[in-house]
Amino acid sequence: TQEVIGIVLSTGSGSNTVSNNTIANLNNNYSGTDNNGQIRGIVLSAGHSGNTISGNTIYNLSTTSANANANSEASVIGISQNQTSTSHTVTQNIVHSLSSAAGSANVEVTGIYFDGTSSSTATSAVSRNSVHSLTASTSGTAVINGINVNRSTVGSYANNLIRLGID
């Protein structure tokens, strides 16, 4: 297993804020036989009273890993907000130029992965983000997600600019 992560907050409680960072030019050339090689720009899986990821720029993340996992385990993710306990905000981020060149593996490339809560009192928001230039070069199945929302049944997803299919 080999992971490359720009910023990771995986333990702790309370609220966390990750803002105004630039994460660029990271590569993961993992060539193992399992599918656990990942590259991610920002990972937030800690905090319990509302995380905020805002104003970050993430670009030029690439991998050759044959990781065939999906959702929070995808081979390439720009931003992963993976804390399901309460309301969270992902806003005004720029994510672009994420790529997987896995040869023949099935791969998933995701600009923003948001795993929120299904609580009816949550006020999660994913807004005003720009996601573009996501690519996967493989002879296997490729899944490209601008924003992948998992489990969150409430919240606001508005005013995001997503461009897929044009390099």
Q: Which residues contact 133 (CB under 8 A, 6 or more apart)?
A: 96, 97, 98, 163, 166, 167
Average pLDDT over all residues of the chain = 87
Please answer whether residues 87 and 115 qualify as being in contact, where contact means their C-beta atoms are separated by less than 8 angstroms.
Answer: no
For residue range 59-69, list pLDDT tens digits in order: 999 998 888 88
127/78 Cα distance (integer angstroms): 15
pLDDT at 120 over 70: no
Tokens of 152: 């969150």
Residue 114 burial (CB count, 10 A): 24
CA dist., res. 148 & res. 108, Å (int): 11
The structure tokens listed for 17 are 């804020």
| 135-146 pLDDT per residue, tens | 998 888 889 999
Is the confidence at residue 33, as pLDDT, over 60? no
Sign, CA torsion 9/48/72/52: negative
CB–CB of 112/74 below 8 Å? Answer: no
Tell me how crowded residue 2 is: count the other CB atoms within 10 A of its CB. Answer: 16
Terminal-to-terminal C-alpha distance of the chain: 30
C-alpha torsion angle, residues 55, 72, 1, 58 (rounded to 10) = -20
Give the residue, 138 or 120, on which the prediction is more confident. 138
For residue 76, what are the β-bridge partners?
39, 109
Q: What is the pLDDT of residue 41?
A: 97
Helices (DSSP H) in the chain: which residue ranges? none
